[in-house]
Amino acid sequence: MITTSPTEFLEAHAALAPLPEAMGTARAAYLIAPVEFALAAESARDNRYMDMDAAVDPLQALAQHSALAQALRADCPVITFPGNPATPDAVFPNNVFGTAPGRLVVGRMRHAVRQREAERSDIRAFFGELLGYDEIDLSGCTDLVAELTGSLVIDRTRGIGYCGLSERCDEAGAAAMHKAFGLRLTFCFELAASEYHTNVVLALLAGRAAIIAADGFRDPAVPRAIAQACGGRAIWLTPAQKQAYAGNAIALSGERVWMSAGAADSLTVEQRAALAGYGFAIGTVQLDEIEKAGGSLRCCVGEIF
């Protein structure tokens, strides 16, 4: 079922029990290392978090990315694929490749500079030939845009997708992802005009709680419905905290939420206490160099289910 109505979504959500033996967090994660890291002007056309006037340090980006991979290994196995100088800003693989149990989904990126990332045969072979996953390839679909778990935040414990519509995902893309990921329910909504990806304004933590930036949604009823679906267990971000990427977080275990050091520094004492009350410690890595490309920690992490 796909719905755009907050009321209809909540009614359908109430009727869905958690999936038996569903994994709320990934079995493993993968990253793509930055090589000759640079900002892509094409991506900046609809990513308002990018600052094309900012100077970037490729070696600093590589060092921060390596520290990220090492830190995440505390919660799950982590694989780092080598970067490609032909795609110097390709450090956000979750938009291009996504997984469900036994299934690899390849997304349809909006910009040509990002579409090249979907051509990586090594990543496709890793999932297809080594892990035996079936491949669902949306990258050649010219009638849709579907930037996977950038646009679609998934509650894996219930098989529910939260899909923000923007330049990076249209209704046809939402329907294609609903089918590709095998979801039971997808709630589609428009993001605010200034937003490009849902995972900057919404994080779901192991199916137990949410981090929400209410100003990232066009309709105020949408974030309220999401919080209600989470039983009221929601951390509400200010616009400044959203800009610091506090919404671009991920739980790779049931006990910890990861976000950049800058994002964590923006949280209040009360918000930290609320996360602790929901059962989550906070893990951080310094990612200010990579954040110049318009994404943060969660964008760097591809999940393997």
pLDDT tens-digit map of 225-267: 999 999 999 999 999 999 999 999 999 999 999 999 999 999 9
Bigger pLDDT: 94 vs 23: 94
Percent of the chain with pLDDT over 70: 95
Are 176 and 146 in contact by the 8 Å Cβ rule? The answer is yes
Q: Of the given ranges (42-51, 129-138, 172-181, 247-256), which has the lowest mean pLDDT? A: 42-51
Is the pLDDT score of 41 beyond 70? no
pLDDT tens-digit map of 132-160: 999 999 999 999 999 999 999 999 999 99
Predicted pLDDT of residue 43: 59
* Structure tokens that stand for 275 in this block: 């996360």
Q: What is the mean pLDDT of residues 57-74?
A: 95
Q: What is the mean pLDDT of residues 182-204?
A: 97
C-alpha separations of 286 from 60, 132, 246 in Å: 10, 35, 13
Predicted pLDDT of residue 50: 61
Are 161 and 151 in contact by the 8 Å Cβ rule? The answer is no
Predicted pLDDT of residue 42: 58
2-13+22-304: in CATH 3.75.10.10: yes
Predicted pLDDT of residue 239: 98
**Residue 273, C-beta contacts closer than 8 angstroms, at least 6 positions apart:** none
Is the pLDDT score of 197 beyond 50? yes
